[in-house]
Amino acid sequence: MNLGCAKIRRIIKQWVGIIILCSLGSATLSHPIWILPSTFNLSGDVGEWVTFDVSASHTLFSFDKSVVLDELQIYSPDGDRNYLGQYYKGRRRSVFDHHISQSGTYRFSVSRPPYYFTSYKSGKRETPKRMMANKQEAQQRLPKNAREVKTMSIDMEASAFVTFNEPTGTVLEPKGKGLELIPQTHPSDIIAGEEVIFLVLMNGEPEEEVEIEMTAGGTRYRDDRNIQIFQTDKQGLVSYTPTQPGPWYISAVKTVPLNDEKTDEAMLIRFITFEVIPE
């Protein structure tokens, strides 16, 4: 089962065994979240409408769970925030359209405020248990004999980029806060047989040993998902040479201690959909 990162699988097994967690709308953490535009690159003298599918699924890029888009962020090439109008949320996917009219690269991102789950043991059999609650909420609900209590927060974001005419880099610039997964090879220039590079930052600084996964779409049509697993180097970089054209998916995950009033640690998850162009 592909959770977007092998590390996510291991952490969740350590915490709660087999668990299903609420995520964006009806999606679950066990489902990678992705944004898939109808085109990643377009050109011309006038703008065009691009349609976007958003879903959460084990099988890339097949629809499974729809996603609430109230927190969708759209940034035009000049860095201005655009706002989403109407969108459709079905059972298995959400759909929206956006008019691409400004030359350069747009960024589309879905994120949500952190949410929490608490794990603990109780009873004579030391049974592992869990609840969807932060530390403060859990204190009101934990049994008196609860032991090994620990709370984790989940912070995730999924992004995609669309370029109209010439590529630009404004929407690729780091914000210097939290975990950031940043293409160093421009998303409109990723070509089969050529190296693609991504940078991972934590609070604006290169982050070493962050686990990265890259997966080509169409996993339902092959026996092996062919998930490529890497770790960032001392410069926070990871590189790979894709050979299969089409849409791809990259994910990064990092767990950091927080120990604040709501959580003991945070799992930060970042996803990007990108296109590999044929040679």
On whether residue 44 sits in a domain, the answer given is yes
Tell me, yes or no, whether 1 lies in a domain.
no
Quote the pTM value. Answer: 0.84
CB under 8 Å to 63, separation ≥6 — which residues?
Answer: 53, 55, 57, 92, 93
Tell me, what's the pLDDT at 20? 35
Tell me if 71 is assigned to some domain: yes
Q: What are phi and psi of 220, to 5 degrees?
A: -70, -15
How many domains in the chain?
A: 1
Q: CB-based burial of residue 255 (10 Å sphere; 0-12 exposed, 13-18 middle, 19+ buried)?
A: middle
Cβ count near 135 (within 10 Å): 19
CA distance 191 to 215: 15
Asked if 236 and 208 count as a contact pair (C-beta separation under 8 A), the reply is yes
Per-residue pLDDT of the chain (279 residues; tens, 9 = 90+): 444 555 555 554 444 333 333 333 333 344 678 999 999 999 999 999 999 999 988 778 888 888 889 889 999 999 999 989 889 999 999 999 999 999 999 999 998 667 898 999 988 777 888 899 999 999 999 988 898 999 999 888 999 999 999 999 999 999 999 999 999 999 999 999 999 999 999 999 999 999 999 999 888 888 788 889 999 999 999 999 999 999 999 999 999 998 789 999 999 999 999 999 998
105, 187 contact by CB (below 8 A): yes
Domain of 150?
6-276
- Are 50 and 82 spatial neighbours (Cβ–Cβ below 8 Å)? no
